[in-house]
Amino acid sequence: MGLKNFLLDLYEKAPALTNKELFDYVLDEVVRLSDSAIGFFHLVSDDQKNVILTAWNREALNNCTAAYAAHYPIEQAGNWVDCVRLKRPVVYNDFPCSPNRKGLPEGHTPVRRFMSVPVVEGDKVRIIFGVGNKPVEYDMYDAVMIQVVANDLQRIIGERSAEEALKRSEAYFRSLIENSSDVITILNEDGSIRYISPSVERVAGIKPADMIGRNVFEYVHPDDASVAKGIFNRAVQTPGVTLSAEFRLWHNDSSWHIYETATQNLLDNEAVKGIVANSHDITARRQAEEKIQASLREKEILLKEIHHRVKNNLQVVSSLLNLQSGFLKDGESLDIFKESQSRVNTIALVHTKLYQSENLSEIDSAGFIEDLAGSLLQALGKGTEAVKIQTDIHDVYLNVDQAIPCGLIVNELITNTLKHAFPGGREGKITITMRSDGERIVVRFQDNGVGFPPAFDFRNTQSLGLQLVNILVAQLRGTIELVADGGAAFIITFPIRDR
């Protein structure tokens, strides 16, 4: 059989042969066609550093007792790999006297003549054929013949590798689709189902074969049909754009499950030619979210009720203090009871603001301080009619741990100012400003009253109110200073805590 017939035979037989059978078959034919006695076929590693010893013909194996490893470093090899180094066929018709010879290993078949041929792809050698001991000298015909066979073998190897890679890829993606929790659907332009992944039986309890050819909207909840059809029509009109929506789809147990579906138009894709929908069942997630929301609503109601009851209990305490004060004849004792009552009312006001607020974790300082100031003016009544309280507070929010001490500080400062800063019913003004820079809150409490004596030390005073102010500022981890500014001004600074 000549070269042409062999190549025809090679392409016919190759699909049925394993790699080893293919290599042995081709090598035997190369040895026969070149009239050689021995031959080998080896692969070359991708890094071009090793020859991967692959196959020898029977004659070479029968007369060779040398041991070989699976890989042979090229830098240690003799001139039998010169074709790799030179990237071209190499002929040594007098092999014992050839250059670069490093000798043969013990037990190797004697070599008189030798020819090696590489297959080069780009700048890399992929395979090499070697034949030896032809009765006459090797010539260019032998080199060309082996080169043709080697090139065709490499082509077959490449196609086989590509086919195997494709099969692995197809198997991989098939496994992903079949075992995915998502349902992949390919729809025709009229909405009929051309393909649906096997996962639909596991997810929705419906056999894929029962859905093929049916219109997908048969499985959509009637109330969601308009949404689903709208997404589908938009997908048909806008190729390449992914559109997402949520709607209910029928389950084989006669229930409706909520799906999150991403739809894309791949009608122009030759491999798909359809509208692809990727649907993920989010029913359990939605049910969990609804339970969480219901639980949050219950907790909000409960927390509001707690704040409401705390406020009511504090008002009871305030009322008891008010009743008790009616039995007092001593003016100083009566003032103490009223101050205690105003402190209780301040704490109650915090809880009132919290249960009235949509956000139960914090209150708006502006409304809180304005209401507090108004209630104090009303409570203290006589002698304060000529005093005005002005607030300048914007976007300052306090959590309950800061609102109570801050409210009590303002309560003490207003009470103290109304009692001492405007003697004789004189007119006066109190200004309360609050600012936040994102990291700290600054409160400025200023009046235009008579002020404090020059040597007054507000940190060491017999006044219970100012003692409480210092204690509460420390509780806020803040600082306080007093400046004389046409009366008196307290500047309080404290850090913002996590809401």
- The residue type at 11: Y
Alpha helices in 357-399 (DSSP H): 365-380
- Identify which of 272, 279, 258 has the alpha carbon closest to the alpha carbon of residue 189: 272
∠ CA 260-265-270, nearest 5°, is 130
Please identify every stretch of the chain with a pLDDT value under 70, giving residue numbers as ranges: 1, 60-69, 105-107, 172-173, 176-179, 296-314, 316, 318, 320-329, 331-332, 334-335, 337-338, 351, 353-358, 360, 381-384, 498-499
- Which of 284, 254, 259, 350 is closest to 311 using CA atoms? 350
DSSP-derived 3-state class of residue 476: coil
Structural contact between residues 413 and 463, judged by C-beta atoms closer than 8 angstroms: no
Q: What integer pLDDT is reported at residue 497 of this predicted model? A: 74
> Containing H/E element for 318?
helix 283-325
pLDDT at 344: 76
**Rounded Cα distance, 125 and 151, in Å:** 11
Q: Give the per-residue pLDDT at 64.
A: 55
Q: What tokens does 50 get?
A: 């090793």
Domains of the chain: 3-169 (3.30.450.40), 182-281 (3.30.450.20), 287-495 (3.30.565.10)
Give the number of C-alpha atoms closer than 13 A to the C-alpha of residue 491, restricted to the C-beta side: 7
- pLDDT at position 69: 59
User: What's phi and psi for 470, nearest 5 deg?
Assistant: -65, -40
CB proximity list for 270: less than 8 A, separation 6 or greater: none
d(CA 65, CA 184) in angstroms, rounded, equals 59
pLDDT of residue 373: 86
pLDDT value of position 272 = 87
Q: State pLDDT tens for residues 22-37.
A: 989 999 999 999 999 9
Partners of 72 in the beta sheet? 51
Number of Cβ within 10 Å of residue 112's Cβ equals 14
Taking the alpha carbons of 331, 335, 341, 344 in that order, is the dihedral positive or negative? negative
- The letter for the amino acid at 251 is H
| Tokens (6 digits) for 323 | 């009743």
The continuous run of DSSP H or E covering 407 comes out as helix 400-420
